[in-house]
Structure formats: structure tokens, C-alpha cells
Amino acid sequence: MTHPADTPKPPSPGAPGLRQTRAIVGCFALLLVALHLVVGPLIKPADWRLDPRSNASFAEAVAWRAGRLDLELPQRIHDTALYEGRLYNVIPPLFTVMSYAAITAAGALGLPSGEFYSPWFFGLVALPLPFVAFAVFQQVMRRPPWAALLTFACIAGTPVLPSLVAAESGGINHVNHLLSQTGLFIVLLALIDGRYLRWALFGLFIAAWSRPTTIFFAAPILWTAWSADARLRRRRCIASLLTLAVIVGVPMALSAAKFGSPFETGYRYLYEGRSDELALRGTDGVFSTRFVATNAWYMNVEPGRIVSGGAWGWRPQFDPYGGSIWLSMPLLLLMWPDLRHWWRSPLDRVLLLSSLAVIAALLCFHNTGYLQPGYYRYALDFLPVWLALIASRLLVGPARQRFALGAIAWSLLYFNTAATMYA
């Protein structure tokens, strides 16, 4: 992906840089306009709100401000673990840290006390994504119109869109999905450049503290550090390992403080007092190969169906446990023709293997991603990597470009009609 041999070469050093800069700025401006027109009616930045009574990470930040780890809530909320008579948050710590910093800064600036100021909430969670995604696709393809189109497709034609809709009201799982997208794109941008490994580590920190399965993308970072020349190798490897120790160690320390063991995430305590199907699966084990068949079906096959009747007439109806990534995002089918090509590139090979490790973990997880009618939100844990790999070979020939345009059009229609009906 770093040096795609078969894609058109970037402009030579003698080419007018001002023209290329204007093209990049113009295409990015058009991207923002398109996002405003298509996504804007579904999400309104001014309406982004957080409430500790519905967001476990924000509730934990409020608890931290009060000098405690357990949550003071009038009633138990989603994603809280009941352990020894107390409620704890089990969601990864990034958004708790962000919320703690935000409400502390708000108090210092004289803003409403104990609140995550709405413009900050939207600006930190949603706004960075088009910038970093566009930067990655432009770096890979060197074609601003295509970079803008793929960024638009990434936001409006993938599970990112229902996550944006759900994050508006503070849905913590969807907030974390959006944060992890930004983190993974930062990782990719740094690895493609190859010089700024510290940014790759920063991106991994964002991603892994939002979605723990993305920790597998430490592998391409470590490979890049080891591949440096002898003068830089030792320093880069030490810095990478120390950063990874912090990324892994802090959540383990929080687990030890809450549940008595660094290896106890508290996830199994989410289901204390519950008897629904998901609770029974989680009680039997958070990860198990018993769940592979079910998860594989909802990830790869589940098609949904068309029903009729009532005021809606003919309409799509989807299983709330998921939907096929190949049906909802057919652009991903372009992963298959170039597997051999990517395998010959060391960086691409490590990225691909890391994504397969992420998928293996997701297939063994007790939860398919419920609720996610018609789409598979856990695909966001590897989607930026797959899209960047696809982008690196998209301009090889006109046939795949025509397929890509049709696939993107389908996904935009799909996620702006079917999936968002239930978001």
C-alpha cells in the first residue's frame, strides 16, 4: 500500500504544486458539502448531548470527579456491571478520560458545570473523521476526486452512518466506534508515510482505548519499527513497546481496581440479574468458539427480507443481530482479486493478517453486535484498513472503477434508507 506499483504515479516534482493543492482543497470542500447535504439531515451537531444516566463512560467521569470508581446512578443503565452490590463501567477508558477532561475544562471556563459541552462532543467524536480518512485515501491514491468519493462512501455508506445517528444521543458503543475510526486512520496515515511512528502509536491509543480488538494493529506498527535502519531501530522498538505497555496496562490497572484482578474486564458482570438470550450467552463465556457459526452468519450471510403491509407498504426488514457486510458494502468484494498482490508487500501482509486476527476475535465474541439491524457494526474494527488496501489498487483498471462506483452508489442508498430506519 505504501508504494502501489500498478497505480498511476503521483505528479513529478516539477509539476505545479499549487494546482494539486487547489484540487485537494476543492475536492475536500465538495466532500464537506456532500456530507452536509446527505448526512446533515440525520445528525445535527447542536443536538449532540450526553447524560450520565444513559452513558456509562460519562457517568464514570462524573464518578471520578467525585473521587470514586463506582457509579452513582438512580437506576442501572446499559453497559454497567453489577459487582459486589456496586455499579461499574466496563467500557474502554478513552471516552471516560475525554469526558473527565471536558467537564473539568468546562468548569474552569465558566461553562455549565458537569456537562460535556455539545460543540466539544461533536467536534472531538465526529469532526476529525472526514479529515483523517481523506488524508489516507489521498496519500494512497494521489487523486483528490477519488479520495473525496471514498471518504464520502466511508462515512455515508458504511456502519459509520448509523453510528453517527446513534452517537447524537450519547450511545457509548457508537461513540467508541467513531473514535476508533479516527484512531485507525491515523495509524494508517503514519504507516503509509513511514516516518512518524509516534503518530501511529497515538492512533493506536485512540483506537484500542475505544475498541480493544483493534490492539491487533500493533503488529504493523512493531513491524515498521523493526524495519527501520539500524540507527533508528532500537529507539523505535523501545518507544513502541513502552507505549503498548501503557495502552494495555492502564485498562488492566482499572480492572484490578474495580474487580480485583487485571485480567477481569467485568464484562461477565454485565449480565447479573438478566435472563435474556444475550445474557445467557455472555454468562457461558465472553469469548468462545461456540459462537463462531452464529457470528459468521450475521457478518457474512444474513440478507434481511422485504415485507409489505401497513402504512409503510413494501419495505425492508432486517434481523436486529446483523447483516452481511458483502451485501451492505459490496465494495469490500474488491479485497479478493488482489490478495496475492498484497501478500507480496510486507506492510500490506501484516495489515491483512492483523485484520484477520481482529475478525477471529469478533467471531468468538458472545455478542454479534446487537442492536444492528441490516448491518454489521463490528466491521468498523477493520474497515479502514480494508478500504485503504482497496483504494491502493482501485485505479488499476476501468472495470474495477466502474464496479466501485456502482458498489458505492448501492451502499449509499442502503445505509441512507434501510439501516438508518432503525438507528
Grid coordinates belonging to 390 = 482497496
pLDDT at residue 312, as a whole number: 54
Asked whether residue 96 is domain-assigned, the answer is: no
pLDDT at residue 16, as a whole number: 52
Q: Are strands 86-89 and 80-83 parallel, antiparallel or unpaired?
A: antiparallel
Asked whether residue 397 is domain-assigned, the answer is: yes
Total count of domains within the chain = 1
Asked whether residue 76 is domain-assigned, the answer is: no
Q: Are strands 80-83 and 315-317 parallel, antiparallel or unpaired?
A: unpaired
Domain coverage including residue 185:
22-43+126-421
Residues forming a β-bridge with 316: 306
Asked whether residue 68 is domain-assigned, the answer is: no
Asked whether residue 63 is domain-assigned, the answer is: no
Asked whether residue 58 is domain-assigned, the answer is: no
pLDDT at residue 379, as a whole number: 98
In angstroms, the CA 92 to CA 69 distance is 14
Asked whether residue 217 is domain-assigned, the answer is: yes
Asked whether residue 333 is domain-assigned, the answer is: yes
Residues of the chain under the 70 pLDDT cut: 1-16, 306-315, 418-423
AA letter at 145: P
